[in-house]
């Protein structure tokens, strides 16, 4: 069975290759092959969608597709993707799904930006925040605090219930090293920072 990352590349590959058997895996772990995407979808729309995934900014429907994928809600992501490529963004269900996930993202981001979550100088404790929200969080925080290497401990994901450690270099806005971490390791890690 082929393993697909639950991200835009994985979704496009899945929709382009029909009814083969796939297993969706976390987009945060490299346990899958790099995909060669050659699809019949509109290249401009795909470019916008991929840029939205990379920078966490873009049209609401693109943001919603990316958020649903990171969340693991593939069926909703497929529905929105099809509406997006077919320019059917006025559909009531599309608007509802888009608003639903963006509102959830806003709520969790607001909860994340609390000064009490800083532990030490460079460590952010977000163990109660699911992993799917962290790329958006990093995108925002790195715009505010550039030139500083930061570490984030987040909750797990639908693919892995363990906590994640995100290590974001000072010069990179969106790229991070990501690994799972056990809570005992967090206590030792916390003492270092």
Residue 49's pLDDT is 94
How far is 108 from 135, CA to CA, in rounded Å?
12
Residue 103's pLDDT is 97
Nearest to 81 by CA among 28, 136, 14: 14
Q: Is the pLDDT of residue 193 over 60?
A: no
Distances (CA, A) of 84 to 13, 22, 95, 98, 115: 16, 23, 11, 11, 37
High-pLDDT (> 70) share of the chain, % = 85
How far is 131 from 187, CA to CA, in rounded Å?
19
User: pLDDT-based confidence at 175, cuts 50/70/90?
Assistant: low
Q: Is the pLDDT of residue 133 over 90?
A: yes
Q: Which of 17-26, 49-58, 70-79, 107-116 has the lowest mean pLDDT?
A: 17-26
Q: Is the pLDDT of residue 70 over 70?
A: yes
Q: Is the pLDDT of residue 65 over 90?
A: yes
Residue 160's pLDDT is 85
Nearest to 160 by CA among 6, 53, 1, 2: 6
37 or 96, higher pLDDT: 96
pTM (2 d.p.): 0.87
User: pLDDT-based confidence at 189, cuts 50/70/90?
Assistant: low
Q: Is the pLDDT of residue 137 over 80?
A: yes
User: pLDDT-based confidence at 173, cuts 50/70/90?
Assistant: low
Q: DSSP alpha helices (H): ranges in 58-182? A: 60-71, 74-85, 92-112, 134-144
Q: Cα–chain-centroid distance for residue 105? A: 11
Do the Cβ atoms of 164 and 156 come closer than 8 Å? yes
Q: What is the dihedral of CA 166, 49, 14, 168, to 10 degrees?
A: -10
Do the Cβ atoms of 5 and 13 come closer than 8 Å? no
Q: Is the pLDDT of residue 88 over 90?
A: no
Residue 166's pLDDT is 92
How far is 55 from 86, CA to CA, in rounded Å?
23
pLDDT in tens, 97-132: 999 999 999 999 999 998 888 887 788 999 999 999
């Amino acid at each position: 069975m082929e393993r697909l990352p639950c991200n835009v590349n994985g979704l496009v590959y899945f929709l382009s290759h029909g009814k083969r058997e796939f297993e969706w895996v976390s987009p945060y772990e490299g346990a899958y092959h790099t995909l060669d995407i050659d699809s019949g979808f509109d290249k401009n729309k795909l470019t916008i969608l991929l840029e939205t995934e990379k920078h966490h900014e873009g049209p609401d429907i693109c943001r919603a597709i990316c958020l649903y994928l990171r969340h693991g809600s593939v069926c909703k992501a497929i529905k929105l993707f099809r509406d997006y490529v077919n320019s059917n963004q006025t559909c009531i269900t599309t608007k509802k799904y888009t608003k639903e996930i963006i509102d959830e993202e806003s709520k969790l981001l607001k909860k994340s930006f609390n000064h009490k979550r800083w532990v030490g100088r460079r460590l952010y404790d977000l163990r109660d925040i699911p992993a799917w929200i962290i790329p958006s969080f990093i995108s925002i925080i790195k715009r505010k605090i550039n030139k500083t290497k930061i570490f984030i401990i987040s909750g797990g994901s639908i693919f892995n219930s363990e906590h994640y450690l995100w290590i974001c270099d000072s010069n990179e806005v969106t790229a991070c090293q990501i690994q799972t971490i056990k809570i005992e390791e967090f206590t030792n890690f916390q003492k270092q920072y």
